[in-house]
């Protein structure tokens, strides 16, 4: 299959996905739902390369960037007719407008895992597609576990992914259990130091995957190597800590897992007459945060309600109109919880891990 035909097929899939799943597509509009096996089979070259230099132009193809080409040196070859030490020249792209990588000088020295197509003409430069698994080597551990053992694992089913979490003292991702529930048996994978898990040789079938969650954590998002089902799309605003998938014979399936703190801070803002205030900017910041660095964490809704998710354990201040600029929606200067116009008189809020604080009733000072 030629690169043009492959591209046309992927574009057709992208266009059909855009109408149903617009918010899960990449900035250029493509939907990357490929496993490492999918992209390995489709690519002409699969390599690790290091970004070494750029050339400049006075007539750039894309505005705001004067780089014409980028040069990478091949360091490892998994597929293709290149060898270690070869130099490959890449055309400058635009990730938003043509779904190819944009190169920057400050990235020189970075190593990448690349899934590449041969250019149509021998005189053309390579491009790096934003619609496949090409990425910095730092974030390619899932792929490398398979590629580095390709001769041993070729043709076997594989379920894999990366568990990641932000915030909290309990941020270590090693040794986490990922349960994969079949009809008659439950399988368990364990994450490594990079949060990567993998299981080989599961029988082709339908499964449910769920991570073992520690206290105070929830699944924020599953990244799947398939498009979400219509049901998942329609109910996407109702997060779940488990996800269903189907494993095909001799194929792979991937589930990346993003965890978030499961607590929240919520309340209402009213004026002195008890009227709910909408569009009030609410800042929730550690007590030591300088006032110049305060920003909106949430805006109150029509009922005057606000909710701030994922607060790490600590001591905070709650600030309203943190920029101290009265507007039609906020006809008052900056003030602090509870009803204090001076920072020194503010009431600090202490959050414990896994603890939510609700019904913080706030009245704008007269």
Record the pTM.
0.83
- Separation between Cα atoms, residue 138 and residue 166, nearest integer Å: 17
Mean pLDDT of 255-265: 94
Q: Which of 156, 162, 254 is nearest to 207 (CA)?
A: 254
Give the pLDDT of residue 11: 40
pLDDT (tens digit per residue) in 50-81: 999 999 998 888 777 899 999 999 999 999 99
Mean pLDDT of 187-207: 97
Give the pLDDT of residue 201: 97
SS (H, E, C) 47-78: EEEEEEEEEECCCCCCCCCCEEEEEEEEEEEE
pLDDT (tens digit per residue) in 277-293: 999 999 999 999 998 99
Kindly state the DSSP code that residue 129 receives in the 8-state scheme.
B
- Separation between Cα atoms, residue 182 and residue 187, nearest integer Å: 8
Which helix (H) or strand (E) covers residue 19, if one does?
A: helix 3-20
- Separation between Cα atoms, residue 217 and residue 3, nearest integer Å: 43
Lowest average pLDDT, out of 14-23, 237-246, 357-366, goes to 14-23
- Torsion of Cα atoms, 166 then 169 then 174 then 175, to 10°: -120
Lowest average pLDDT, out of 4-8, 93-97, 224-228, goes to 4-8
pLDDT top residue among 63 and 353: 353
Q: Which of 124, 114, 39 is nearest to 73 (CA)?
A: 114
Domains parsed from the chain with CATH numbers:
3-139 (2.40.50.120), 158-261 (2.60.40.10), 264-363 (2.60.40.1120)
- Separation between Cα atoms, residue 153 and residue 199, nearest integer Å: 11
């Amino acid at each position: 299959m030629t690169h043009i035909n492959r591209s046309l097929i992927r574009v057709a899939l992208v266009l059909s996905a855009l109408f149903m799943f617009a918010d899960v597509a990449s900035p250029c509009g493509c939907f990357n739902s490929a496993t490492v096996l999918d992209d390995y089979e489709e690519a002409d070259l699969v390599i690790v390369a290091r970004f070494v230099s750029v050339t400049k132009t006075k007539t750039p193809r894309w505005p705001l960037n004067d780089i014409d080409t980028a040069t990478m040196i091949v360091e490892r070859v998994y597929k293709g007719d290149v060898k270690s030490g070869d130099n490959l020249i890449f055309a400058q792209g635009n990730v938003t407008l043509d779904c190819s990588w944009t190169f920057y000088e400050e990235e020189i020295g970075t190593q990448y895992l690349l899934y590449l197509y041969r250019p149509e003409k021998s005189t053309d430069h390579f491009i790096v597609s934003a619609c496949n698994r090409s990425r910095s080597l730092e974030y390619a551990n899932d792929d490398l576990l398979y590629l580095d053992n390709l001769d041993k694992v070729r043709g076997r089913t594989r379920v894999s992914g990366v568990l990641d979490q932000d915030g909290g003292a309990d941020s270590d991702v090693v040794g986490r259990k990922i349960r994969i529930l079949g009809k008659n048996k439950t399988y368990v994978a364990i994450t490594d130091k990079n949060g990567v898990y993998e299981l080989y040789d599961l029988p082709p079938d339908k499964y449910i995957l769920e991570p073992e969650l520690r206290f105070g954590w929830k699944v924020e998002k599953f990244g799947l190597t398939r498009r979400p089902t219509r049901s998942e799309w329609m109910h996407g605003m109702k997060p779940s800590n488990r996800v269903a998938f189907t494993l095909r014979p001799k194929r792979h399936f991937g589930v990346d897992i993003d965890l978030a703190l499961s607590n929240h801070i919520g309340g209402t803002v009213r004026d002195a007459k008890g009227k709910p205030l909408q569009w009030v900017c609410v800042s929730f910041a550690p007590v030591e945060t300088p006032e110049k660095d305060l920003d909106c964490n949430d805006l109150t809704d029509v009922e005057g309600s606000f909710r701030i998710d994922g607060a790490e354990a600590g001591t905070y201040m709650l600030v309203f109109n943190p920029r101290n600029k009265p507007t039609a929606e906020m006809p008052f200067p900056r003030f602090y919880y509870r009803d204090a116009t001076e920072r020194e008189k503010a009431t600090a809020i202490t959050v414990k891990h896994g603890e939510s604080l609700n019904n913080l009733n706030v009245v704008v000072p007269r």
